[in-house]
Structure 1
Amino acid sequence: MSSDVPAVVEGDATEIKAVPVRRPGRWLAAAVVAVLVANAVWSLATNDRLQWGIVGDFLFDGRIIDGLVKTLELTVIAMVVGVVLGVLLAVMRLSSNPLVAGASAFYIWLFRGTPLLVQILAWNFIASIYPRITLGVPFGGPEIVGGDANALITTFVAASLALALNEGAYMAEIVRAGILSVDEGQSEAAQALGMTRAQTMRRIVLPQAMRVIVPPTGNETIAMLKTTSLVSVIALPELLYAAQLIYSVNYKQIPLLIVVMIWYLLFTTILSIGQYYIERRFGRGHARELPLTPWQRLRRSLTIQRGRPALPLAQRNTGGGFGA
């Protein structure tokens, strides 16, 4: 067999010198963005109407901190209840029992089809429909336990119920999509091994579905943190309403709203970082290489790359290895 490709001498010191591609457009775009960002920062920092001194005075005010704590409590309660309820509703929706699947579909239709603000107001005024909330035998049977609705459904409870029940409807669709993303052969193999439907769901399907469920759940958590501001309409002193109570007295609306935005930005950033690492954790085994962490990206961006290392001639692709 003959070939026109010259033979490569083993140990040849000849190397390929890689020259980095020049990208003037990238540098120009970076310069324009840097100028615009610097101008925006300078404009905000030098605008006396923003009253940064007042922002600093109220940033750690006791009333603001108390409102922040209530915001975090509402977020945690709504997401924990919402996730548990969402998993239950998703499993019900996929049930072969039409009554169970229909009940789940109706719940999702109802709570996704009405505005959350309306649901918050409805739970806050639930006493006008059911003055007394009881638990007992259905259809007018004897009461086992009960109490006054205004005493049981406080403002905080009404806000928690509205947020959690609404979130459960959205989480149900997220979990259902994650379950459907798992190949049916996994369930069939588990059933062939004698596992029950519940065992298959808990041990086989849900762990694999987490890769699909986690990203939108993280987004829902971040959105819930901000959505809690809607409960200010029922006078619950969460973060936004606490600021409103303060600026209704001192008329410093803009500085107080900046305080609110700073706290929201801080905690959404923390949640975003947590979401990134959780996604990275569940992404193991589904990609050849894990994505770089923010710290790794920063170190790489600060590293000056002077060009790729040269390749020995023996590692070149001659292109004639299969020619005759």
Structure 2
Amino acid sequence: MTLAIEAHGLTKRFGKTRALAGVDLEVEQGRVLGVLGPNGAGKTTAVRILATLLRPDGGTARVAGHDVLADPKAVRAAIGLTGQYASVDEELTGLENLVMIGRLLHLRRGAARARADELLREFDLVDAAKRSVKTYSGGMRRRLDLAASLIGRPRIVYLDEPTTGLDPAKRDDVWDMVRSLTRQGTTVLLTTQYLEEADALANEITVIDHGRVIAHDTPQGLKRQVGGQTLEVRPLDPADVERVRPILARIGTREVEQPAPDQLAVPVADDGALTAVVSALATERIAVAELALRLPSLDEVFYALTGERAGDDTAASSPQTTTDQEEEAA
């Protein structure tokens, strides 16, 4: 197993605020690690340390085989970073921004222009290429920022909440871009509060809360760890709901719930519950419109682990959420 990113025991404080309290992260080459956590959990702090933008107070980190403290220049040469907010120059055109970044990365002018043109096509920005960025919509700026992080064809890409502010169609475009990167062997570290994004893209997920790693597994593994499976039944005739209830009560491990007037659901111990309920429904001659056995959603997993919904504004009241602001001032 070749690790593109490995961090052990990372710690960081900003004044009285503990941003990281011994975080471990590992990402295999060519894989996507999703990093989840409530607002202020320490996700961005970890990314900034791995990008050599912050010095940790303790612990070690290696990126592309290089120590982030001992050889930061080599780390920067291997990575691309898209932060939470677009960092392009509003006074320049989209094309000028990308060419400038290419030149800063020591590309010859012709090579920088060719790479800029390629990315403008890929991110559907050709028509706006010669317009000042200050005339771009928020989604266009976000796409340009993503393109800028890929100018140097980095082996490792950090995407810190990359689809914030994008509409669903443009979010799908970014997802396709991430999949394309991994097909080419690029490693991606993705922080996000869109749990469906992590579910769709990440090979593995690390959950951070209050500066500590509280869970790590594949998306499916996390779902199995936290909540088992749920059996859902929607009878063809809504009047049969009460006939279905005692069947699920015998099969389930907890009380039967009714998420909709014509639907019942119950947690079950294993896959065998599906066979049992099919047999029982057939015996009772109850036709069904919908029958499903599902793992918990990643949103349910996140809530079970952290006690918060993803993106919940109540997290803003936590002292931990001052991390990013204090970090900027540091």
TM-score tier, shorter chain, comes to: under 0.3
Higher helix share: 1
- TM-score normalised by structure 1 residue count: 0.21
With structure 2 as the length reference, what TM-score do the two structures score? 0.21
Higher relative contact order (CA 8 A, sep 6+): 1
Larger Rg: 1
Answer 1 or 2: which has greater strand percent: 2
